[in-house]
Structure 1
Amino acid sequence: MRALSIHPHGNGGRVVLGDVPEPDPTDGTLLVEALALGVCGTDREIVLRGPRALPAGREGLILGHESLGRVLEAPPEAGLAPGDHVVGIVRRPDPVPCSFCAAGQFDLCENGRFTERGILGRDGYGSERFRIEPEYVVRVDPALGLSAVLVEPASVVAKAWAQLERAVRRPLRRALVLGAGPIGLLAALFGAQRGAEVHVVDRVGHGAKPAQTRKIGAVYHTSVDDLHGVFDVVIECCGALVGEAVQRAAPGGAVCLVGVGDARTVGAINLADLARALISQNKTVMGTVNSNRLHFEAAHDALRSADPAWLDGLLTDRLSLADWSAAFETDPERIKAVIRFAA
């Protein structure tokens, strides 16, 4: 079967589309046919810097953590049947789990000895078929179609909003999202679904990003200088506006950092001023980058409640497996690249 694998190459990585063995039954009792694979900044970073950890005894890692597949084989006790559409959860806890992992909150792992499919030490979902444990799949509504590939990134957003709602003990009337990539636009969607007045900032002035923002009733800006007032919650998705995020949060508000930017783009942050703002105005700053089953399920519910045409508009690049390399190219006007494995 064919798969997209990353191999160490110089100071980075080299992606290869080639034949690999059929999935090992020890990876899980479910056999799944890949339908689509989402490509995000994490995948591009792995290609740029090379894989951080390969599976034991291997020279490459099958890429892909944003999955959509169709069950081919399932044991009776799995609660799934051939034909079901599923997405795979990414993180796996250490076999000797910490207290969080033992409770199913492996996104909060304390010991750091986890693996992540397609990212860290374990093959991902970028092969024509893959195996997975039934407890690490989420069944998705076939009516979502190709948009179900958004469940994984939406799960990170679901976790961010859950954290923000715990931190801010008042109605969330105004929300600010910095960055209009897939995570940013999904964060804006979640805010709109909660009835908040949502503002989105991104440097791209035309095309799909502002159009998608306005379709959910949010306000689009191309500069933070255009913003007025403060916001109950701020979700920083670009990694370059951390200082602005804290500054724009209202007293008693909260900031969630989702984007990881290059240190050269973040700008200088005076820690004394930051501490003063957090202490004197009771602001909260937190971060997140992964998720657990509860977040995947919340993400699925949110996507099912969204306008299908709007979700479809996020998938700006739909590529065949033969054209996979285009998914790893960057373009500030694109939103989401998806590689289709099967119809």
Structure 2
Amino acid sequence: MRAVTVTPDSDDPLEVRELPEPDPGPGEMLVRGLALGVCGTDREVVSGGHGALPEGREWLVAGHESLGRVSRAPEGSGFVGGDLVVGVVRRPDPVPCGACARGEFDMCRNGRFTERGIKGADGYGAQAWVIEPEYAVKLDAGLKRVGVLMEPTSVVAKAWEQIERVGGRSWFDPQRVLVTGAGPIGLLAALLGKQRGLDVHVLDRHAEGPKPAMVRDLGAEYHTEDIERVMSDLAPDVVVEATGAARPVFEAMAGTSPYGIVCLTGVSPSGRRITVDAGSLNRDIVLENDAVVGSVNANLRHYRQAAEALAAADEQWLERIITRRVPLDRAVEAFDRQSGDIKPVIALDPSAE
């Protein structure tokens, strides 16, 4: 079989190479890879800025945004041949910490978890992969074109769960949400906001391209003005911050309605400095009972929530998030940012297209 592999921080870090067909161990199932999504985390792994290799190896199979079809499943696993599935990214640490022991491995406290395609374990960027049934999630059969969006949707599902849990500390009846950033996470956050019946607004810097129409077709409002003005005009009850850019992060914290919640989902690069009136920001957060929460990764519960959200969404709208489908033999191209990109996807099985 062929697989996309990464040798981080080398002269030619990406390679499509021939590897032996995987042999499922006891209790594992064999899955035929259909598609692999590529995101900023994957690019960080390629550059050596994030993640870790499997022990004793100088490379790993790339990718954590999976989609596959079950080829062979153990009896009694709940899966049968032909099922459309996605693999969960993270595995709990072997110790385990309290969170991992309770199935909340997305909140691991000692950092000894592994992540397929990212930290210490091969990813899903192969024409075949094996997985434990308890870490696979079944998708509606009609999602074969867009099911590769499951992993980023799980991240967003967790973010919304976190928002609702924090809001539940008291009476909570949000009406208006601002999503900053219209990449895959931002668009999917807007989708789940609309599914909750909220007045959704999306702020992005791109006035051209597919994003404005996608947001409008979702029934949300698209903004390109300065964030300070947008926050002042909207005073949103909830902000889902999906850019990781320093200024939107701090403007969001300072501009919500009283008892507002800011959920940070974008990872900021280090080394960039801005001037912030920390005293004023602290005063606003305290006096208005505001909350700021970071959210990353997902556990099985969030994957199942994501599967439900995708099944309830307009499939044609979801497919517009996937702006490029790259054949496996040109997989390296999917890791290069291109103008107009939202989500590039590698087609692991051309016959499935």
User: In 1, Cα distance between the equivalents of 2:13 and 2:228?
Assistant: 40
TM-score normalized by the length of structure 2: 0.93
Offset, 1:171: 1.6
Deviations 1:229-279 (CA, angstroms, capped at 9, x unpaired): 311100100011111111222110100000012235573334333322211
Q: How does 1:10-159 map to 2 (within 5 A)?
A: 10=10, 14-26=13-25, 29-49=28-48, 52-159=51-158
Contact in 2 for aligned 1:242/1:266 (Cα 8 Å): no
Which is further off, 100-109 or 48-57? 48-57
* Counterpart pick for 1:237 among 205, 225, 242: 242
Asked if 1:260 corresponds to 2:267, the answer is yes
Asked if 1:273 corresponds to 2:283, the answer is no
Deviations 1:162-188 (CA, angstroms, capped at 9, x unpaired): 111122232220000000000000000
User: In 1, Cα distance between the equivalents of 2:305 and 2:130?
Assistant: 24
Offset, 1:206: 1.2
> Aligned AA for 2:92?
P
Residues 288/341 of structure 1: CA separation in 2 closer, same or farther (3 Å cut):
same
> Aligned AA for 1:236?
E
Which is further off, 293-302 or 331-340? 331-340
- Percentage identity across paired residues of the two chains: 51
Contact in 2 for aligned 1:6/1:61 (Cα 8 Å): yes
Contact in 1 for aligned 2:8/2:47 (Cα 8 Å): no
Asked if 1:305 corresponds to 2:304, the answer is no
User: In 2, Cα distance between the equivalents of 1:332 and 1:69?
Assistant: 28
* Counterpart pick for 1:211 among 213, 220, 223: 213
> Aligned AA for 2:213?
A
Residues 265/305 of structure 1: CA separation in 2 closer, same or farther (3 Å cut):
farther
TM-score normalized by the length of structure 1: 0.95
Corresponding residue pairs, total: 342
Contact in 2 for aligned 1:38/1:150 (Cα 8 Å): yes
Offset, 1:195: 1.1
> Aligned AA for 2:22?
P
Detail structure 1 runs of 4+ shifted over 6 Å in the superposition: none
> Aligned AA for 2:242?
C
Contact in 2 for aligned 1:107/1:290 (Cα 8 Å): yes
User: In 2, Cα distance between the equivalents of 1:219 and 1:114?
Assistant: 39
Q: SS of the residue aligned with 1:70?
A: strand
Residue 6 of structure 1 corresponds to which residue in structure 2?
A: 6
User: In 2, Cα distance between the equivalents of 1:159 and 1:206?
Assistant: 30
> Aligned AA for 1:275?
N
Which is further off, 94-103 or 151-160? 94-103
Structure 2's unaligned 5+ residue stretches are: none
> Aligned AA for 2:180?
L
Residue 222 of structure 2 corresponds to which residue in structure 1?
A: 220
Asked if 1:326 corresponds to 2:325, the answer is no
Aligned-pair Cα RMSD in Å: 1.7
Residues 99/225 of structure 1: CA separation in 2 closer, same or farther (3 Å cut):
closer
Q: SS of the residue aligned with 2:123?
A: coil
Structure 1's unaligned 5+ residue stretches are: none
